[in-house]
Chain A
Amino acid sequence: MEPSGEHPLEALAKATGRDFPNLMDARRRTAERLEEKRPRLAALRHSPRASIVLMGSWGRQELTAESDDDFMVLIQGARRRLIKPLIRSVKKVLDRASGKQGVFGGPVFSDRLVQDIGLGGDDNDNLTRRMLFMLESIPVTGEEIYRTVRDEVLSRYLDESVKPYRPPRFFLNDVVRYWRTMCVDFAGKEREGPEKWGLRNAKLRTSRKILFAGGLLPILDCFRFDEQRMRGFLESEFDLPPTDRIARSFMENGASDAGARTLGAYDEFVGRMNDGDFRQALKDVTRESAPDSTAFSEVQRLGRDLEDGLLALLYETQYLPDVVRDFAIF
């Protein structure tokens, strides 16, 4: 939050005279639906130290009409049996819970998230759960448990290797690893079949990049802090959705105009995704039909504006280019 009490996206809008109507609408929609769902989810019987956590569009506070309800039942501590609420009970309350098993098909135990970072135990699913939990999630029930587990993950990243006025390299490497994993998995899914190629490609260019930048930028901006203040900074950053973290970084690094264009492009994308016809057009796009798709060329344009703005922040501002040079590649 800014000293004025405004969220950074609002502050950026005020500083540049640029509105972000679709993002603001999506935030309102997310808050309303959260209030609608929370009492019913809270009424489900919970095991001790359990929290229902929403992810994806919910965590980014960007719900559109057709957003999926990605969630996890988070349990603090080690694996155990007979966990409540049951996954199927949560799905009954949510409208568009993903039917597929896999990443969020069962309860998530915090010991795995916290202790299995790296090496063979940290498989693709565990990495995905940890990153979505840290970068784009919001608690619906058990907020105290949620915060405790987030603190545990953060403590693991901010271990004795952290140096003052340097980005925490362990955390940075994991966030970069996750982004590259998403990119590699996109290619892997394409080999499995062409279904939803257009929609997956569109998300990789936009919302997945927002997710990545929303983790990358706070971590790089840690160059401003000693160890004590670094932790407080990251905690307050991860209380905010990724678009706020990005807006804050643009403003603090003296690139408000570029930030307004960057988040303006993303705002346009979020607005388009609220249009059923546009979304369907993207679902229908294949690699072969992409050059003739108006919807896909729109996404290419917006994705490029988004990327150009983020690259300018990383490479054309006063301080970040040196930090990127020293930490982002090796």
Chain B
Amino acid sequence: MQDLRGNWERQVAVAWESSPFAIELSALSETELPSLAEYLGAARSLPFRYISIHGPSKQRELPEEELVAELVELARYADGVVMHPDTFGRPELYRPLGHKLLLENMDARKPTGRTPEELAATFAELPEAGFCFDIAHAWSIDPQMAVAADLLDRFGDRLRHVHLSSLSPDLHHITLTAEHEELFRPTLERCVDVPWIFEAPPPR
């Protein structure tokens, strides 16, 4: 969904084609935050029951306090703001986001935030934060899916939504394969009460 970056109208339209239930607006780069704020400020209510914003994980230049201030402003329009914990300098600075802050588990390429043990330290600093469970990231750590189960055992009470896709050999999100759909099924059955966000075009 790389081609949709920064095109908020199009992101909304594509999400609506999949489901009127949930959307995640991705501002993966800091440079996309101003236009997202402008779009959400000008837009009438969006036609989704659950709205999440994926905060920046790339091209980070803003001082962390300023970034958090921008995210707090954006959070007024959303139910959750997803962040990658490996990008945090001082996790405690994100406390103003309260329950709306969602920490995502990381993939095998990342230095931290991948396993229950690594995430626990960040959650300890952010007791109100929720959990965004990226099942493909968990698979990249452990294709037997034991780490995925451990993540849900440990942080299931914080679970707020799921990221769903498969991963390419270089660990980029791709459309969920039939093989992964079958492999992921038992784990996903533990998450039936929260929104599932496709991180790549859904299977047809």
Contact = CB atoms under 8 A, between A and B. Distances in A.
Interface string A256-289: 0110111010000000000000000000000000
A316 interface: yes
Contact size class for B? 10 to 19
Main DSSP-derived SS at the B contact region: helix
A312 interface: yes
Interface in B91-110: 99
Contacts of B194: 261, 308
A264 B192 contact: no
Interface string A300-330: 0100000011011100110000000000000
Contact of B189 (A254, A260, A313): A254
Nearest to A316: B192
A17 B193 contact: no
B192 A17 contact: no
A18 interface: yes
A317 B194 CA distance: 13
Given A312-B193, A316-B192, A257 B99 contact: no
A219 to B, nearest CB: 21
A154 interface: no
A16 interface: yes
Contact of A261 (B99, B153, B157, B189): B157
A251 to B, nearest CB: 13
Contacts of A311: 193
A317 B157 contact: no
A301 B99 contact: yes
Contacts, number: 36
Specify which of A18, A255, A261, A311 lies most central, judged by the most chain B CB atoms within 10 Å of its CB.
A261
A73 to B, nearest CB: 41
B116 interface: no
Contacts of A262: 193
Given A17-B153, A260-B157, A317 B192 contact: yes
B7 to A, nearest CB: 29
Contacts of B156: 16, 18, 257, 260-261
B152 interface: yes
A94 B114 CA distance: 55
B153 A316 contact: no
Contact size class for A? 10 to 19
Nearest to A307: B193
B138 interface: no
B148 interface: no
Nearest to B189: A254
A308 B195 CA distance: 9
Contacts of A258: 190-193
Contact of B192 (A18, A255, A260, A301): A255
Contacts of B157: 18, 260-261, 264
B72 interface: no
A183 B152 CA distance: 35
Interface string B174-195: 0000000000000001111110
Contact of B152 (A257, A301, A309, A316): A257
Contacts of A312: 192-193
Nearest to A317: B192
Interface in B120-170: 152-153, 156-157, 159
A257 B189 CA distance: 9
B192 A261 contact: no
Contacts of A260: 156-157
A204 to B, nearest CB: 18
Contacts of B189: 254
Contacts of A301: 99
Contact of B193 (A16, A254, A316): A316
Nearest to A18: B157
A260 B154 CA distance: 13
Contacts of A313: 193
Contacts of A316: 192-193
A92 B159 CA distance: 47
B172 to A, nearest CB: 29
A177 B152 CA distance: 38
Contacts of B193: 255, 258, 261-262, 308-309, 311-313, 316
Nearest to B195: A308
B155 to A, nearest CB: 11
27 contacts: A17-B153, A18-B156, A18-B157, A254-B189, A255-B193, A257-B152, A257-B156, A257-B159, A257-B191, A258-B190, A258-B191, A258-B192, A258-B193, A260-B156, A260-B157, A261-B156, A261-B159, A261-B194, A262-B193, A264-B157, A301-B99, A308-B193, A309-B193, A311-B193, A312-B193, A313-B193, A317-B192
